[in-house]
Amino acid sequence: MQRSTQRGHRSMPHTADVRIEAWAPDRDGCLAEAVAALVETFADTGGARPQADTEFDLPPGDDEDLLVGVLDEVIFRLDTEGTLPLDCDVRSTDDGGLRVHWRSTSTDAVELVGAVPKAVSLHALHIAPGSAGWSCAVTLDV
């Protein structure tokens, strides 16, 4: 995965699905970038204003479980509340879990520009540290 900055993300077409990649100097930043990448696959949030703050904790788990857990939460809240994050802050907790905070808005406040993800695929899931920091790659079922 070639990167032009220390922190970022991108999406790529994938056979009837979408694949996202994210990177950052640390794991928490990489997870936050993955959330941004997921949202950008289907919504144009430019001009949207935050309407609420959302905070939740994920229990301890391995890196793959935490990545899937954060992204699943985005999809769950999208399906059940009609909300999506505009920005995301991820912090590791002392017990090995995560505390996630994001400012969210209603789907009515954004323009939908792509297929809404339905699930995170476990196939070819990747998250790991490397010489340039952390990176992850995920396929989203749409």
Q: What is the pLDDT of residues 100-139, one digit of tens each?
A: 999 999 999 999 998 899 999 999 999 999 988 999 999 9
- Report pLDDT for 2: 46
Sorted by where each starts, the structural domains of the chain and their CATH numbers stand as 16-141 (3.55.10.10)
41-68: buried (b, 16+ CB within 10 Å) or exposed (e) per residue? Answer: bbbebeebeeeeebeeebeeeebeebbb
Half-sphere exposure (Cβ direction) of 45: Cα atoms closer than 13 Å: 20
Task: Supply the DSSP string of 10-44, one letter for each residue.
Answer: EEEEETTEEEEEEEESSHHHHHHHHHHHHHHTTEE
pTM (predicted TM-score): 0.91
- Report pLDDT for 14: 64
Q: How does pLDDT run across 50-97, given as a tens digit for each residue? A: 999 999 999 999 999 999 999 999 999 999 999 999 999 999 999 999
